[in-house]
Homo-oligomer: A and B are copies of this chain.
Amino acid sequence: MHVQGILSHIKRQVILTPEEEQFFTSLLIPVKLKQGEFIEEAGEITTNFIHVNSGCLMTYYTDKDGNDHVVQFSTAGWWTADLHSLTHQLPSIYSTRALADSEVFLLSKIRLEELLERYPVFERFFRIMFQNSLVTHQNRIVQSLSFTAEERYENFQQKYPQLEQYVPLKYIASYLGMTPEFLSKIRRKRMDK
């Protein structure tokens, strides 16, 4: 496996030995998926914890009316999975697809458990990662409770300036909890200023 990428992301906190590196499977995901090719699909049981090495993934929830809602964008260095599905081996409620050609490293449920069992440093690594992720998620909840659509967009631009350049606006609107039409309105209003 080619570990340059994952190393550059993990190394600061955890050092992977060649032995440990073998736990991961590398995979290239094109933006346009062919028949039978996919990452994770709602309804299926999640089998892998995914680490994004390059490109960008999007995790979304499809509601009862068939509308998609973007839960997360995952760029290089991020991890993604339906943790509930992965842990309890129940059908996932999220789907994941690529927004750009992406290289990911897959860590299967079994491999993950082995890794945690054999190398306690990974318990620490994931504890810190989940802890940080929790802060981010709490922040987003606060924003959805107390910010206007415009404030949420401003905040998004400041926090993820690079994302707007290649993620279709309609997905950003979805992530921010508004319609693409309304985001368009906000953008024009800010152009006029």
Contacts and interface: CB of A to CB of B under 8 A. Distances in A.
Interface residues of A, number: 30
A84 interface: yes
A138 B71 contact: yes
Q: Give the 10 A-B CB pairs with smallest separation, nearest first.
A: A130-B130, A127-B127, A137-B137, A123-B123, A69-B145, A63-B146, A144-B144, A84-B135, A69-B146, A61-B142
User: How many copies of the chain does the oligomer comprise?
Assistant: 2
A144 B137 CA distance: 12
A170 to B, nearest CB: 14
A179 to B, nearest CB: 12
Interface of A: 61, 63, 67, 69, 71, 83-84, 87, 93, 116, 120, 123-124, 126-127, 130-131, 133-135, 137-138, 140-142, 144-146, 174, 177
A90 to B, nearest CB: 11
Given A123-B124, A146-B63, A146-B69, A87 B141 contact: no
A63 B148 CA distance: 12
